[in-house]
């Protein structure tokens, strides 16, 4: 008989674990967090020595005094041993910092009356664990945190302020709370009375039954002499008619119905001035022609002000140019200007917030080099230049004819036309009496443009003239004045004496009805056609009645179309008029009718 023995072999279970703790703690028995597997017992130690006295394992443990091995603050180490069910063990450890010292925080704030926003600066420190946060609280402007990257807060509200502040380190220690009893007073920019009403008043709110006084020195109520009128809980302090001037501090002190006076620190401090006159800009520049692409824009004011500039006529706040410092002299550097004309607007504001009227300065930049003049005859006289066409503020369309006149003691070398900063043309010779160029506006926007005409003399002295025009996309219609006189010619049978006597009233009914149509032939085609038909009819009737011969000769002797058109002067017409002495008066009417019919026939033949 054979016996078989079977043996089972099992590997021993090996436990594992981790232990973590806060990086900083102010507790002697901090809470440790434990993770584990295959373990059912644990033991903690502060120096790595174990007695193998295990307790039931759990996820947290707070029974280790980290100062029992190394007393005092500083870095500490905690050791962990876990045991499995088959008595196998596993060891691990962690580090932490023990800190029980409070951080320190101090503040530096300005004292007395502040007339603008101001900062309270803090110094915050902690040796072991470092600063975690800093906070403040105030009954006047609330609670908040102190930014640790700045260590300051800004006070922008008015009144006397009390601030309590403290810091907390990373171990959880909080500094002692520290207070600033009162700082500042009025922390806004100075107030200004800008109404010219001969009265400045300060109105405050308090408690019923109070008495208040005001003064220009920070004193208690009993030391002040200027009484404020009180109604209920409101006091009005009338300062009277104050002269215009810079900001000054005023103080108001009150006492309650029980006789308790405010201290100096509790007084209401108010800073304001009186100013109802806006600043004025006394000068602005530059002007004329600037030969550099870098130009300094300047302005002067009659009082300290801040000024802005822009290329549009807008309000001070809407101007895009940088604001200069408060002063009476102001300047800005303009760079990279291209050749052309420029206009800038400047406005200024004084410390009371009153704005000046606008100031405008215009100039032209021309950096185009010209020929060097003859140095043997120095000429410093600038030429004169004036726009002829178009006129200022005109509306133009299409191809615009530009005309400018210029004169100089040495002669004009050239004329340059610009719109804005873009050159239109350089002209070196005149057309008649003027320098002329064409400006194509077809592709330009329908808006307002500034045109400049710059004249250069032979010594390179220059002068410019500026106008403003508006471009229209709609053709501009020229309408003939209905009162324009019509050219007329008198009856050639009228005597010279009659013409001289008639003067301005020589237009007869025949010329008004028959010849007026000829003065507008080129513009009124329909009237021309109707007139020609009438002429043909009259000519045929006259020819049928009188026939040829003497009548024809008389017909041919009538005045020509040139007379009707008014091409000859009055003296020429008078010289050409036949001087006939008719024997019988009754023949005049017949001759006049015959002459009129022949004139129509002659004119008709001339047209054909």
pLDDT at 532 over 70: yes
Rounded (5°) CA angle 420-461-294: 50
- Asked if the structure places residue 260 within a domain, the reply is yes
Same domain, 534 and 548: yes
**Which of 13-22, 354-363, 510-519 bottoms out in mean pLDDT, i.e. has the lowest?**
510-519
Same domain, 290 and 392: no
pLDDT at 469 over 90: yes
pLDDT at 177 over 70: no
pLDDT tens digit sequence for 83-98: 998 889 999 999 999 9
pLDDT at 439 over 90: yes
- Asked if the structure places residue 321 within a domain, the reply is yes
Same domain, 303 and 401: no
pLDDT at 99 over 80: yes
pLDDT of res. 247? 67
pLDDT at 342 over 60: yes
Same domain, 152 and 196: no
Better-scored residue on pLDDT, 33 or 204: 33
Q: How many domains does the chain have?
A: 6
CA distance 404 to 47: 104
For 466, left (φ over 0), alpha (ψ -120 to 50), or beta?
Answer: beta
Domain boundary among 455, 471, 487: 471
Burial grade of 355 (CB within 10 A; 0-12, 13-18, 19 or more)? middle
β-strand 234-240 against 245-255: which pairing, if any? Answer: unpaired
pLDDT tens digit sequence for 193-232: 666 666 677 888 888 889 999 998 889 999 999 999 999 9
- Asked if the structure places residue 447 within a domain, the reply is yes
pLDDT at 388 over 90: yes
pLDDT at 330 over 80: yes
pLDDT of res. 603? 47
Same domain, 126 and 26: no
Better-scored residue on pLDDT, 477 or 360: 360
CATH number, domain containing residue 220:
2.60.40.10
- pLDDT level of residue 295 (50, 70, 90 thresholds): very high
- pLDDT level of residue 180 (50, 70, 90 thresholds): low
pLDDT of res. 384? 94
Same domain, 596 and 501: yes
- Asked if the structure places residue 378 within a domain, the reply is no
- pLDDT level of residue 559 (50, 70, 90 thresholds): very low
Same domain, 466 and 412: yes
CA distance 154 to 346: 33
Same domain, 523 and 579: yes
The residue segments making up the domain with residue 331 are 282-365
Same domain, 41 and 94: yes
- Asked if the structure places residue 2 within a domain, the reply is no
- Asked if the structure places residue 6 within a domain, the reply is no
- Asked if the structure places residue 373 within a domain, the reply is no
Domain boundary among 216, 244, 274: 274
Mean pLDDT of the chain: 78
CATH number, domain containing residue 78:
2.60.40.2470
Same domain, 170 and 69: no
- pLDDT level of residue 601 (50, 70, 90 thresholds): very low
- Asked if the structure places residue 370 within a domain, the reply is no
Same domain, 176 and 226: no
Better-scored residue on pLDDT, 7 or 404: 404
Same domain, 150 and 243: no
pLDDT at 514 over 80: no
β-strand 268-274 against 55-56: which pairing, if any? Answer: unpaired
């Amino acid at each position: 008989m054979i016996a078989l023995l079977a043996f089972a072999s099992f590997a021993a279970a090996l436990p594992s674990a981790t232990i973590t703790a806060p990086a900083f703690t102010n507790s002697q028995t901090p809470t440790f967090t434990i993770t584990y597997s295959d373990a059912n017992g644990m033991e903690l130690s502060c120096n790595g020595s174990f007695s193998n006295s295990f307790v039931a394992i759990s996820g947290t443990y707070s029974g280790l005094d980290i100062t029992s091995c190394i007393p005092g603050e500083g870095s500490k180490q905690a050791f962990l041993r876990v045991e499995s069910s088959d008595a196998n063990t596993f060891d691990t450890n962690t580090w932490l910092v023990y800190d029980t010292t409070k951080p320190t925080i101090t503040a530096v704030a300005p004292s007395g009356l502040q007339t603008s926003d101001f900062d309270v600066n803090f110094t915050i420190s902690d040796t072991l664990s470092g600063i975690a946060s800093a906070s403040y609280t105030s009954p006047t402007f609330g609670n908040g945190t102190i930014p640790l990257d700045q260590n300051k807060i800004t006070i922008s509200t008015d009144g006397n302020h009390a601030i309590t502040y403290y810091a907390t380190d990373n171990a959880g220690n909080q500094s002692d709370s520290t207070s600033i009893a009162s700082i500042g007073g009025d922390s806004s920019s100075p107030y200004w009375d800008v109404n010219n009403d001969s009265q400045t008043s300060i109105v405050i709110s308090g408690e019923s039954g109070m008495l208040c006084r005001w003064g220009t020195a920070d004193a208690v109520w009993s030391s002040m002499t200027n009484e404020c009128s009180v109604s209920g809980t409101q006091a009005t302090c009338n300062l009277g008619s104050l002269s215009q001037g810079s900001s000054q501090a005023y103080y108001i002190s009150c006492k309650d119905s029980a006789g308790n006076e405010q201290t100096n620190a509790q007084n209401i401090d108010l800073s304001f001035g009186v100013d109802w006159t806006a600043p004025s800009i006394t000068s602005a520049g530059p002007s004329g022609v600037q030969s550099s692409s870098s130009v300094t824009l300047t302005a002067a004011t009659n009082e300290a002000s801040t000024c802005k500039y822009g290329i549009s006529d807008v309000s001070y706040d809407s101007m895009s140019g940088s604001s200069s410092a408060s002063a009476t002299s102001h300047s800005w550097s303009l760079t990279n200007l291209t050749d052309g004309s420029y206009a800038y607007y400047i406005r200024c504001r004084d410390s009371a917030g009153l704005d000046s009227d606008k100031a405008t300065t215009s100039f032209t930049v021309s950096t185009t080099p010209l020929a060097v003049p003859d140095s043997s005859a120095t000429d410093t006289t600038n030429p004169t230049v004036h726009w002829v066409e178009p006129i200022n503020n005109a509306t133009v369309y299409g191809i615009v004819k530009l005309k400018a006149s210029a004169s100089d003691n040495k002669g004009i070398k050239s004329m340059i036309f610009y719109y804005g900063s873009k050159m239109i043309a350089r002209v070196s010779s005149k057309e008649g009496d003027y320098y002329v160029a064409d400006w194509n506006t077809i592709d330009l926007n329908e808006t307002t443009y500034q045109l400049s005409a710059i004249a250069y003399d032979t010594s390179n002295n220059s002068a410019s003239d500026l106008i403003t025009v508006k471009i229209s996309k709609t053709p501009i219609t020229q309408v003939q004045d209905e009162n324009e006189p019509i050219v007329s010619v008198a009856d050639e049978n009228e005597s010279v004496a009659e013409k001289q006597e008639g003067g301005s009233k020589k237009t007869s009914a025949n010329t008004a009805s028959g010849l007026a149509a000829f003065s507008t032939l080129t513009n009124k085609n329909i009237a021309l056609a109707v007139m020609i038909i009438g002429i043909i009819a009259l000519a045929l009737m006259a020819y049928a009645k009188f026939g040829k011969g003497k009548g024809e000769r008389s017909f041919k002797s009538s005045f020509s179309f040139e007379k009707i058109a008014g091409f000859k002067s009055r003296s020429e017409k008078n010289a050409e008029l036949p001087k006939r002495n008719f024997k019988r008066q009754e023949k005049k009417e017949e001759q006049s009718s015959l002459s009129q019919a022949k004139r129509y026939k002659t004119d008709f033949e001339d047209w054909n």
